[in-house]
């Protein structure tokens, strides 16, 4: 399984008071689990514990993600 870096941009539940806040970060695509169906779907790991579980349960909004790939013929790229 190849690890693929990607840029993720969307919104995530706010820490308190409801609503949501912007989420923009570099992530690594590393799991293609059986629950991830379709070409434009993902699963964001938020950690362990009650807070992570509560926020994860609220994730339903669409997000943009761009997979970063090396240029063709790049001598420093992994095969």
pLDDT tens digits along 13-69: 776 667 888 889 999 877 666 766 766 677 788 889 988 888 787 777 788 988 888
- For tokens 């799991």, what's the residue? 31
Q: How far is CA 22 from the centre of its chain?
A: 13
Which range, 4-8, 15-19, 70-74, has the best average confidence (pLDDT)? 4-8
**Domain membership flag for residue 76:** no
Other beta carbons less than 10 A from residue 63's beta carbon: 15
73 versus 33: the higher-pLDDT residue is 73
Q: Look at residue 16 in the predicted model and tell me its pLDDT.
A: 64
Q: How many domains does the chain have?
A: 1
Q: Tell me whether residue 13 is in a domain.
A: yes
**Does residue 38 belong to any structural domain of this protein?**
no
Domain that holds residue 21: 4-32+44-67
Q: What is the pTM of this model?
A: 0.64
Torsion, Cα 47 3 34 51, to 10 degrees, reads: 10
């Amino acid at each position: 399984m190849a690890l693929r870096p990607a840029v993720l941009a969307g919104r995530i539940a706010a820490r308190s008071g409801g609503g949501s806040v912007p989420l923009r970060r570099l992530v690594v695509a590393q799991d293609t689990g059986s629950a991830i169906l379709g070409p434009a779907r993902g699963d964001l790991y938020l950690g362990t514990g009650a807070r992570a579980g509560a926020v994860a349960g609220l994730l339903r909004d669409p997000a943009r993600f761009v997979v970063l790939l090396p240029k063709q013929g790049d001598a420093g790229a992994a095969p």
